[in-house]
Chain A
Amino acid sequence: AQSVTQLDSQVPVFEEAPVELRCNYSSSVSVYLFWYVQYPNQGLQLLLKYLSGSTLVKGINGFEAEFNKSQTSFHLRKPSVHISDTAEYFCAVSDISSGSARQLTFGSGTQLTVLP
């Protein structure tokens, strides 16, 4: 079984400032890692995913994340945020060994609020 911990429930940041949203996971097996974004009253949209290869993953809207296996982390970063980045962000993992069963286990989310 896996678990995901998002260390900050709320992150306020000023426009054009950098931001990091933290995610740590726990798993006894290798995992795939994902970040999703949820705008108000909408479903979840995939930002980026780490499956294998380079540990630095680039996603949509200028976001990137770095997989750190030794620290079991997958922190999300953006060098300069915009008002439109205000949303809830979810980190998720799935078990590589589960074959076709790509069940996602989600963290509890981080509300990013970009201030003018």
Chain B
Amino acid sequence: EAGVVQSPRYKIIEKKQPVAFWCNPISGHNTLYWYRQNLGQGPELLIRYENEEAVDDSQLPKDRFSAERLKGVDSTLKIQPAELGDSAVYLCASSLRGGHGYTFGSGTRLTVV
């Protein structure tokens, strides 16, 4: 079975520019997560979806970050405008509802210059 697919793998943008990341979860996985991993640290949750509903976005910086999961399948995470401190790896993961342990994608490494 195909794993969690993320694109692009790498992105370099100038500060104040917009950027978007895309995630395709494992087929049938109701729950989708976006995590941010700063250099030398563990991942931190940004937002969690149950189907198309964002059920936990308390740690998403809403002034510049937005996310959507249309039709409860693919998801897009957007940053506008990007800041230098947004440089990180953005990881998408999915699981069955109530599942224990996710499947992670390979991530998108964002560099803001």
Show the binding face of A for B, using Cβ within 8 Å.
4, 9, 32, 34, 36, 41-46, 49, 51, 90, 92, 94, 99-104, 106-109
Contact = CB atoms under 8 A, between A and B. Distances in A.
A100 B103 CA distance: 16
Given A43-B105, A100-B50, A100-B97, A90 B42 contact: yes
Q: What 9 A-B pairs come out closest when comparing CB atoms?
A: A106-B42, A43-B104, A44-B104, A100-B98, A43-B106, A46-B101, A49-B101, A43-B105, A43-B107
B101 A107 contact: no
Contacts of B55: 101
B48 interface: yes
Contacts of A104: 43, 45, 102
Contacts of B93: 43-44
B85 interface: no
Nearest to A44: B104
A42 B50 contact: no
Contacts, number: 64
Contact of A108 (B4, B31, B41, B105): B41
Interface residues of B, number: 30
Nearest to A35: B101
Nearest to B109: A41
Nearest to A103: B45
Interface in B14-63: 31, 33, 40-45, 48, 50, 55-56
Contacts of B102: 46, 102, 104
B42 A99 contact: no
B56 A101 contact: yes
A52 to B, nearest CB: 10
B43 A103 contact: no
Interface in B67-113: 91, 93, 95, 97-107, 109
